[in-house]
Structure 1
Amino acid sequence: MKELIVVDAGLATLSGHHAAVIDKLAAVRQLKVCIYSHVSVNSDVIEHADSYGIELHPYFETEFYGYLSSNENRVGFSKTLKLLATEYINLLTLHREKEARYLFHTMDWIHLWALSLALELIQRKKHQVPSVIVLLMFNPLSKALYGASRTLYASAVKLMLKFGKSVSMWPSDFEVAQAINLLLGSNIFAQVHPCLLPFEQQVCNAESRKRGIRQVLLYCGDAKGSKGFTELPEILGKVLPNSNDDIRFVIQYTNESLDPKLLKAEALLEHIAYKSDKLKLIKGYMSDARLAKLYKASHALLVNYCPLVYQYKSSGMVWLAAKYNTPIVSLSESWLTREAHRLGVACDVVALDSLTSESFFEEPRERKVTTYYQELMASFDSWLCNQF
Structure 2
Amino acid sequence: MTQIFAHRLIVADPGLTSVSGHHAAVLDVLNCEALLEQNVKVEVWHSKGADETVTKLVEDKKAASKQFFSAAFYNYIFEPARLKDQQRQIKTLVSEYQTLLLLSGDSGRNSVLFHTMDWYHLWALSLAAKWAFKASGKLPNIILLLMFNPLNQTSKYHTAPLYGIACKVLSGFEQVKIFAGDYETSIEVSSLIGVDRLPLHPCLVVSDVNVASIESYTSKSKSLLLYCGDAKANKGFNELPHLLEQLIGRVSSIDSGEIELVIHYTNLSSDIELQETEQKLDQIAYKFDKLRLIKGFIPEAQMATLISSSSAMLMNYDEKVYQHKSSGMVWLAAIYNTPLICLTDTWVNREAARLGLSHIHTQPFLLHQAIEGMFGSGVMPSRYYKNIFRPFSCWLSNQL
Q: Which TM-score tier does this pair reach, normalised by the shorter chain?
A: over 0.9
| Distance across 2 between alignment mates of 1:15 and 1:261 | 20
3-state SS, counterpart of residue 221 of structure 1: coil
Partner of 1:42: 51
In structure 2, relative to structure 1, the CA distance for the partners of 1:150 and 1:379 (3 Å cut) is same
Residue 299 of structure 2: aligned partner: 287
Quick check: 1:138 aligned with 2:148? yes
Matching residue's letter, 1:384:
L
Deviations 1:145-173 (A, max 9, x none): 55531111111111111112x00111111
**Structure 1's 181 and 95: CA in aligned 2 closer, same or farther, altered over 3 A?**
closer
2:246 to 220, 238, 243: 238
**Cα distance, 1:119 vs structure 2:** 1.3
Aligned partners of 2:217, 2:239: CA distance in 1, in Å?
Answer: 29
Indicate the residue corresponding to 1:102 in structure 2.
112
Q: TM-score, normalised by structure 2?
A: 0.91
Assess if the C-alpha contact under 8 Å between 2:208 and 2:392 holds in 1.
no
Structure 2 residue aligned with 1:257, among 241, 266, 269?
Answer: 269
1:59 corresponds in structure 2 to 68
Partner of 1:11: 16
C-alpha distance 267-363 of structure 1, shift in aligned 2 (>3 A): closer
**CA 1:208–1:357: 2 relative to 1, 3 Å:** farther
**3-state SS, counterpart of residue 137 of structure 2:** coil
2:127 to 117, 125, 132: 117
Corresponding residue for residue 194 of structure 1: 202
C-alpha contact (below 8 Å) 1:300/1:360 kept by paired residues: no
* Residue 94 (structure 1) shift: 2.1
Aligned ranges 1:129-208 → 2 under 5 Å: 129-143=139-153, 145=155, 147-164=157-174, 166-189=175-198, 191-202=199-210, 204=213, 206-208=216-218
AA in 1 matched with 2:168: K
Instruction: Identify the residue that residue 234 of structure 2 maps to in structure 1.
Output: 226
| Matched letter for residue 65 of structure 1 | Y
Please state if 1:316 is matched with 2:290. Answer: no
Match of 1:300 in 2: 312
Q: Could you tell me whether the CA contact under 8 Å between 2:362 and 2:370 is conserved in 1?
A: no
Determine the C-alpha separation between the residues in 2 that align with 1:59 and 1:218: 37
Aligned 8 A contact 1:37 1:60 in 2: yes
Q: In structure 1, how many angstroms separate the alpha carbons of the residues matched to 2:356 and 2:217?
A: 22
The answer to whether the Cα contact below 8 Å between 1:26 and 1:54 also exists between their aligned partners in 2 is no
Hey, what does 2:80 align to over in structure 1?
71
- Match of 2:225, SS state, is strand
2:343–2:363 contact (8 Å) kept in structure 1: yes
Q: CA deviation at 1:358?
A: 5.5
Identity of aligned residues (%): 39
Counterpart in 2 of 1:381? 393
Cα drift, residue 100 of structure 1: 1.4
Whole-Å Cα distance in 1 between the matches of residues 375 and 281 of structure 2? 30
Match of 1:270, as an amino acid?
D
Unaligned runs of 5+ in 1: none
2:355 to 343, 346, 354: 343
CA shift at 1:382, angstroms? 0.6
One-letter amino acid of the structure 2 residue matched with residue 127 of structure 1: G
User: What is the distance in 1 between the residues matched to 2:55 and 2:64?
Assistant: 8
What amino acid is the match of 2:201? Answer: H
* Residue of structure 1 equivalent to 2:222: 214
| Residue 290 of structure 2 corresponds to residue 278 of structure 1 | yes
Q: Cα distance 1:326–1:69, how it changes in 2: closer, same or farther (>3 A)?
A: closer
Q: For 1:337 and 1:105, how far apart are their aligned partners in 2?
A: 24
Alpha-carbon offset, residue 45 of structure 1: 1.6
2-structure distance, mates of 1:358, 1:372: 27
**CA distance, structure 2, for counterparts of residue 268 and residue 357 of structure 1:** 24
Q: Which of 355-364 and 305-314 deviates more?
A: 355-364
What is the one-letter code of the residue matched to 1:228?
A: G
Deviates more, 1:335-344 or 1:268-277: 268-277
> Secondary structure, in 3 states, of the residue corresponding to 1:356?
helix
Question: Which letter maps to 1:232?
Answer: L
Contact 1:252 1:282 in 2 (8 A): yes
Deviation at 1:127, TM superposition (A): 2.5
SS in 1 for 2:293: strand
Contact kept, 8 Å, 2:338 with 2:378, in 1: the verdict is: no
3-state DSSP of counterpart to 1:222: coil
Alpha-carbon shift at residue 123 of structure 1 (Å): 1.7
Shift of 1:108: 0.9
Provide Cα deviations, 1:267-325, integer angstroms capped at 9, x if missing partner: 11111112222111111111111111111101000001111110000000100011011
Tell me how far apart the structure 2 counterparts of residues 106 and 154 of structure 1 sit (CA, whole Å): 16
Structure 2: gaps (5+ residues): none
Of 325, 343, 351 in structure 1, the residue corresponding to residue 337 of structure 2 is 325
The one-letter amino acid paired with 1:75 is K
Q: Structure 1 residue 238: deviation in Å?
A: 1.4
TM-aligned CA deviation for residue 15 of structure 1: 1.0
Aligned partner of 2:30 in structure 1 is: 25
Question: Are 1:9 and 1:63, in contact at CA under 8 Å, matched by a contact in 2?
Answer: yes
Q: Say if 1:330 and 1:222 are closer, same or farther in 2 by CA, change over 3 A.
A: same
